[in-house]
Amino acid sequence: MEKFNVLNGLVAPMDRANVDTDAIIPKQFLKSIKRSGFGPNLFDAWRYLDQGQPDKPNDNRLLNKDFVLNQPRYKGAQVLLARKNFGCGSSREHAPWALEDYGFRALIAPSFAEIFFSNCFKNGLLPIVLDESKVDRLFHEVLAFPGYRLEIDLERQIVTKPDGETLAFEIDPFRKYCLLNGLDDIGLTLRHAEKIRNFEDKRKLDQPWLFG
């Protein structure tokens, strides 16, 4: 998992409340568990004018020009600004996979669905909760100023706006540690690889019948 330290990223505004995981990545694309390749179908039903199908290229599909991610000013955005209860619905981990594969590294909203919120941290995404009034101001500024960027410093737990104003955010210390060090559940386990090998070697000697 990629480490998250300081991000200076273009912001894209998703001005919808209660965006569920089926909107983030529709159910027909859930066949793979490779964690990659979902970006082209992120927000598929809103992003395209036709229905997408698994294993079919998107090159010739008709884009919905009104959808925010199809607007040239938001191309390459790494920060998604959203409304309350983002990531509600089913618990599919494919939702953060699709957001990360598209290029997003951080999400900002007044609230997130609980399971989605947890899944983000496990996949290298930083979900930031800010007061609704602050999120409202960010939406206003993003829409008013093309090329609007935010700097997110995870170590200091602050979001810095272009005018220099800083917005503090809270984060669980363990989740912060994992993001700063690029550790998912597998990475956390592999820190103890030598102890695991020693345990397995000892168990083979103590209980050889378990190993044929």
Three-state SS for the chain is CCCCCEEEEEEEEECCCCCEHHHHCCHHHCCCCCCCCCHHHCCHHHHECCCCCCCCCCCCCCECCCCHHHCHHHCCCCEEEECCCECECCCCCHHHHHHHHHCCCEEEECCECHHHHHHHHCCCCEEEECCHHHHHHHHHHHHHCCCCEEEEECCCCEEECCCCCEEECCCCHHHHHHHHHCCCHHHHHHCCHHHHHHHHHHHHHHCHHHHC
On whether residue 195 sits in a domain, the answer given is no
Q: How would residue 202 be classed by pLDDT, with cut points 50, 70 and 90? A: confident
Does residue 201 carry a pLDDT above 80? no
Residue 197 lies in a domain: no
pLDDT of residue 53: 84
- More confident of the two residues 167 and 212: 167
Is the model's pLDDT at 192 over the cut of 70?
A: no
Q: What is the mean pLDDT of residues 74-88?
A: 98
What phi and psi values does residue 49 have, to the nearest 5 degrees?
A: -95, -5
Work out the percent of the chain whose per-residue pLDDT is above 70: 96
Q: Which amino acid is at 14?
A: M
Residue 168 has pLDDT above 80, yes or no: yes
pLDDT for the residue numbered 143? 97
Give the domain CATH number at 59: 3.20.19.10
Q: Give the pairing of strands 106-109 and 126-129.
A: parallel
Closest CA to 152 of 137, 138, 167: 167
Q: In the prediction, which pLDDT does 193 show?
A: 66
The one-letter amino acid code at 53 reads: Q
Q: Residue 166: left (phi > 0), alpha (psi -120 to 50), or beta? A: beta
Number of domains within the chain: 1
What's the average model confidence in pLDDT over 125-136? 98
Q: When comparing pLDDT for 114 and 198, which is higher?
A: 114
Asked if the structure places residue 188 within a domain, the reply is no
Range of the domain at 49: 6-181
Residue 34 has pLDDT above 90, yes or no: no
Q: Does residue 190 belong to any structural domain of this protein? A: no
Residue 50 covered by a domain: yes
Separation between Cα atoms, residue 103 and residue 122, nearest integer Å: 16
Confidence grade of residue 191 (pLDDT, cut at 50, 70, 90): low
Q: Is residue 198 part of a domain?
A: no
Output the average pLDDT for the chain: 92
| Residue 10: HSE in the Cβ half-sphere, 13 Å Cα cutoff | 13
Whether residue 135 lies inside any domain: the answer is: yes
